Structure 1
Amino acid sequence: MTQTTRDAVLTAVPAALLVALLPPLTASAVPAAPATAVSSLSWGPCEGMGTGSDPRQQCATLRVPMDYADPRGPEISLALSRIPAENPKARRGALFLIPGGPGGSSLSAPSGKGQKLPREVRDRYDLIGFAPRGLAPSTAVDCGLEHGDLAASKLRPWPAPDGTIDANMATAQRMADACARNGGELIRHLSTANNARDLDRVRAALGERRISAWGVSYGTYVGAVYRQMFPHRTDRIVLDSNDDPDPARVARAWLAGHEQGVEDTFPHFAAWASAPGNPDRVAETAAEVRPMLLRLAARLDREPIPWPGANPEELNGDVLRQTMLDSLYRPSRYPALAQLMLAAQAGTVPPAPASPPEPVLQNVAAVGAGTLCNDVAWPKSPAAYEKDVAESRAKYPLTAGMPRNAMLCAAWPYPPREAPVRITDRGPSNVLLVQNERDVATPLSGALKLREALGRRAVMVTVNSTGHDAYLAHGNECGDRTVSRFLATGERPARDVYCR
């Protein structure tokens, strides 16, 4: 599997309250960087990047401490990539492409989504990609999970049909034990704070005084944490599809956000799935789609349909619910959910979906587990999850209690090594948030909490669009133009804006 293919696999995984803020940040706020920064990295051809790699893309490896509390101790490798600025005379610095996840990579992004950036942005920045700590081809971790535990409907903790969570707690213990047994010392040092420290080591190795960044999804939290830890090392920061920065819950808040994210997005799917002329139409009216899916999931809870080649090898209610969640990430995935609903109603299944190679799934699952579980302590008592699941099921039946359930972090054997970073309004005002109004994974409600935490340091662009990832992906021309202008010139809206 080439790195380009691997990165493609990893990515496959209400109106805002608008307030007036500071005037635009101008381009003169930070002096331009020299055309050639002094770098300690040895750049060379990229191996295993596949035919889709831009021939200009270069790769390098950087050694960083595994444990920043022991900087002279064991080191790990970070795999880096770059495409230099296209106009050296206009070069401003380096634009870090911070991936989602945890478990996402941007190693192929300078050749991929980086080339969607307008020329005036590409002229000004070296585009920097990387595989975060723990993720191959950086020094990698692996929990050695059982094959069945790699199913998306297991990694996301769906309760039993009656709402009980005994099986989820048992699964959490089994998976956490595997990570403790097989993850080695590195899995204890996966965290967002360490990801931010790694980025600052990359900055220093590049010879840059300051960096700009485009962080997406989980990358918005990494970018916000970096911005908090190293405020004067930042130039222009774009945070796209934003995570709730709640320091008491961290990833628990992200998981819980799915219940509102589904409520925000499902009506858009229902309108599509009931539109006349749609070959995958499932109902005559949008109002029929929700009860139809709920009835179908309940029937599959009672009577699963065998599904050879899938994981698990049956179409049950949780697999349907997980397919719903996955399909709401972007409208281009709506047909997969509609086709599965139509097949299940007929008592059949479509061909089993293609699965990434198991070593990739193992690696991604381990990075996700280590980072999510090390960032903050999760409750250990089943009673805490039982109460939350019951409340969630009653209020949000589409997600059936999953967003507040116990994932493997409920049994994680290692206490956090440090408190989560609290995002505040202290520091330079150089952040632009861009957020779709309907985003199943990082809903607007959570993004507004990051916006509130950043205060006068940020301006937010809310986009009337549907899908996860806004800028140059599933947003609109108004949002894209606003972000591109900020990256290219430093011009930022004087206040929060709504892009219709």
Structure 2
Amino acid sequence: MYGTVASLGSLAVTALVAVPAGGAEPRAAQPRAADTRTAETLGTAEAARRAAAAGIAFGACPKAEDLPAPARCGTVKVPLDYAKPSGRLITLTVSRVKAAGKPAKRLGALVYNPGGPGASSMYFPMAAELPEWKRIGAAYDFVGYAPRGVGRSATLSCQSPKDFTKAPTQDPAEPSAAYRQQRIDGAKAYADGCARNAGDALRHYTSLNNARDLDVLRAALGERRLTFMGASYGTYFGALYATLFPTHVRGMVFDSAVNPAPGQIWYRNNLDQSLAFEGRWADFRTWVAKHHRTYRLGDTPQKVLAAYEKVRAAVAKKPAGGTVGAGELQSAFLRAGYYDDYWAMRATALSEYLKGNPRPLIDQAAPKPEAAWDDENGNAVYTAVECNDAPWPTDWQVWNRDNTKLAARAPFETWANAWMNLPCAFWSAPRQEPLEVRVKPGALPPTLILAAERDAATPYPGALELQRRLPGAALVTERGAGTHGIGGGDNACVNGHLERYLLTGRTPVRRAQCAPHREPNPVSLDERAVARRPAPAV
């Protein structure tokens, strides 16, 4: 369950190996080293040559992209299967805003990916006008794109969007045996839907292919070397790219890094994430308790938890607005674990609900019908990539044992995360063995890693592990903070390191630390109402 939005103001191929049907544990990872002679690597080179010759014909963006000028849109074709570069091609959508500065000062294209798997960065060019990005936007073309499977890029779907967003859901914190069986049945059906809808193409939605697609995009943009910024999951396939194509790298920013160790992909990373979210959930409750005079939810984190559980029990019994049950409530508050921008909103929603006004909670937590297609599509790509990338346990008892044990320590996210990933236990497509992310000293230009110390979606040890695997990488840490995706956000120190790196190539010697950004300002619904009142006449 990875983040998909970084703040905008706020090997080469491994052979596909099937997991044995009776496997209880994911096999100990047998990571593969990059090999420049594989069919997939040669296929990538051929596809990149074709893309360089064809370029990208940028024009007015289709209405479906909802991108105003000066953004321009185009497409690039990539092989579905890089071992067969002359076989079936798929089309990726691309967006761009040209560098705003003088042509002589242009440094190239900055390609961005916000994570997921399953997120699009088609919106990214619009960040060029934001204050935090303006100097970078003067020097770089800002390039966004929809990775394979996402949006209009060879769309992947596993279920009817209407069924996917069906609400309310209950998702009990302590699931009964009957509920667990219900979720097992649902996971099997979802995995079957992915296989049925995608057919033989399903196996090709992988992180390795996302890295190869990135090299074809680089070539199509006319860039000899790539400048890339990836957030969350984007750091993982960015690291794969650095491993596969180190000589094609000009610069790379890894914002909120996934732990790339092969044994972590993806089952154990998700367990670590669930544990980390418990700490971030405590951070939120501590902040709410500090502002008890505003929210009246309790002056200790435990009292705030009691208020939350009271609301959870109420919506489980009678869903708010007929659509917000316990599942929707948990999902809404999980966002507060990703981004503290949500803290005041979520605290207000709890406070108002307990005062008899459910409207803020309904507005914040109810599924949005207009987002159903995007939500289902993003989940389908997330599932396909993570299930294809590595071995997963295929015995439910392993999942049950691990998550039951973990939920005793970290009840907030554990089971919700397990249900999201459970289709991987019943996946029919072949699984890969993860690539060993590692680059020889001197093979890669200096790179920059950004990490918040209390990030739950990509726990901090992942940033340390990535730095160990990329010699010459510098790590900037935002101490005591937990926002997921910190580049271009609220921390001027972090942004200074980011801007310096992208504009000059300079990094801290090895590690630098930034004080945390300012905590959110508590603004209650009542205070906002007071602020909107007409000023008295004088």
Question: Taking structure 1 as the reference length, what is the TM-score of the superposition?
Answer: 0.83
Q: Structure 1 residues 282, 198: CA separation in 2 closer, same or farther (over 3 Å shift)?
A: same
Q: Work out which of the residue numbers 440, 454, 460 in structure 2 matches 1:438.
A: 454
Kindly tell me: are residues 260 and 492 of structure 1, through their superposed partners in 2, closer, same or farther at Cα, counting changes over 3 Å?
same
Q: Please, which runs of 5 or more residues in structure 2 have no aligned partner?
A: 8-51, 516-538
Correspondence for 1:387 among 401, 405, 408: 401
What do residues 260-301 of structure 1 show as CA deviations (whole Å, max 9, x unaligned)? 33233233312331234754341123343235445654x459
- What whole-Å deviation, never above 9, does each CA across 1:64-112 have from its counterpart, x for those lacking one? 1111111111110011111222321012222111121111111121123
Corresponding residue for residue 336 of structure 2? 327
Residues 164, 372 of structure 2: 8 Å contact kept: no
User: Quick one: distance in 1 between partners of 2:476 and 2:227?
Assistant: 18
Q: How is 1:449-464 mapped onto 2 (pairs within 5 angstroms)?
A: 449-454=465-470, 456-464=471-479
CA–CA distance in structure 2, aligned partners of residues 485 and 130 of structure 1: 25
**1:389-445 deviation line (CA, Å, top 9, x unaligned):** 1210122133354445652111111112x4222211423142110011222322223
| Equivalent residue letter for 1:81 | S
Gaps of 5+ in 1: 1-8, 14-36
User: How many Å separate the matches in 2 of 1:132 and 1:265?
Assistant: 30
Confirm whether residue 399 of structure 1 aligns to residue 379 of structure 2. no
**Cα 1:161/1:459, change in 2 over 3 Å:** farther
Aligned residue number for residue 46 of structure 1: 61
Partner of 1:211: 226
Partner of 1:447: 463
The correspondence of residues 132-281 of structure 1 with structure 2, limited to 5 A, is 132-145=147-160, 147-150=162-165, 160=175, 165-276=180-291, 279-281=294-296
Aligned counterpart, 1:306: 319
What is the aligned partner in structure 2 of residue 470 from structure 1?
486
Q: CA deviation at 1:309?
A: 4.9
The question of 1:315 aligning with 2:322 is answered no
Which amino acid letter does the alignment assign opposite residue 400 of structure 2?
E
1:446–1:345 CA distance, 2 compared to 1 (3 A): farther
1:213, distance to aligned residue in structure 2 (A): 0.8
What SS class does the counterpart of residue 389 from structure 1 fall into?
Answer: helix
Checking the alignment, whether the CA contact within 8 Å between 1:163 and 1:401 is kept in structure 2 is: no
1:189 Cα shift? 1.2
Distance in 1 of aligned mates of 2:168 and 2:512: 37
CA contact (8 A) 1:257 1:446 kept: no
Contact 1:305 1:347 in 2 (8 A): no
Tell me which of 402, 413, 417 is aligned to 2:428.
413
Counterparts of 1:168 and 1:381, CA distance in 2: 14
> Any idea what SS the aligned residue of 1:123 has?
helix
Q: Do the aligned partners of 2:168 and 2:325 also contact (CA within 8 Å) in 1?
A: no
Distance (whole Å) between structure 2 residues aligned to residue 144 and residue 75 of structure 1: 24
In structure 2, what is the Cα distance between the partners aligned to 1:157 and 1:213? 41
Distance 2:293 2:279 in 1: 22
Deviations 1:226-281 (A, max 9, x none): 11111110011101011111313423234223323323323331233123475434
When structure 1 is superposed on structure 2, of 62-71 and 80-89 the one drifting more is: 80-89
State yes or no: 1:485 paired with 2:528.
no
Deviates more, 1:274-283 or 1:329-338: 274-283
Q: Give the 3-state SS of the residue equivalent to 1:338 in structure 2.
A: helix
SS across alignment from 1:177: helix
* Pair 1:69–1:198, CA change in 2 (3 A): same
Amino acid at match of 2:451: Q
Which stretches of structure 1, 4 residues or more, deviate above 6 A after TM superposition? Answer: 152-159
What is the distance in 2 between the residues matched to 1:451 and 1:305? 49
Deviates more, 1:172-181 or 1:351-360: 351-360
- Identity among equivalent pairs (%): 30
Question: Are residues 1:363 and 2:377 paired?
Answer: yes
Match of 2:106 in 1: 91
Q: Give the whole-Å Cα distance in 1 for the aligned partners of 2:176 and 2:385.
A: 29
The alignment partner of 1:82 has SS state of strand
| Corresponding pairs, count | 459
Amino acid at match of 1:78: L
User: Could you say if the C-alpha distance between residues 232 and 173 of structure 1 is closer, same or farther in structure 2, counting changes exceeding 3 Å?
Assistant: same
Alignment TM-score, normalising by the size of structure 2:
0.77
With over 3 angstroms needed to count, the CA separation of the structure-2 counterparts of 1:116 and 1:250, relative to structure 1, is farther
| Conservation of the 8 A alpha-carbon contact between 2:278 and 2:411 | no
Provide the C-alpha distance between the structure 1 equivalents of 2:97 and 2:233, rounded to a whole number of angstroms. Answer: 23
SS at match of 1:267: helix
User: Which residue identity lines up with residue 380 of structure 2 in the other structure?
Assistant: A
8 A contact 2:167–2:367 mirrored in 1 = no
User: Aligned pair in 2 of structure 1 residues 348, 256: CA closer, same or farther (>3 Å)?
Assistant: farther
Q: Check whether the contact 2:61–2:67 (CA below 8 A) recurs between aligned residues.
A: no
Counterpart of 2:209, as a letter, is: N
Deviation, 1:383, is 1.1
Counterparts of 1:95 and 1:366 in 2: how far apart (Å)? 27
> CA shift at 1:183, angstroms?
2.5
User: What is the alpha-carbon distance in structure 1 between the residues aligned to residue 290 and residue 254 of structure 2?
Assistant: 34
Query: What is the CA distance between 1:453 and its match in structure 2?
Result: 2.9
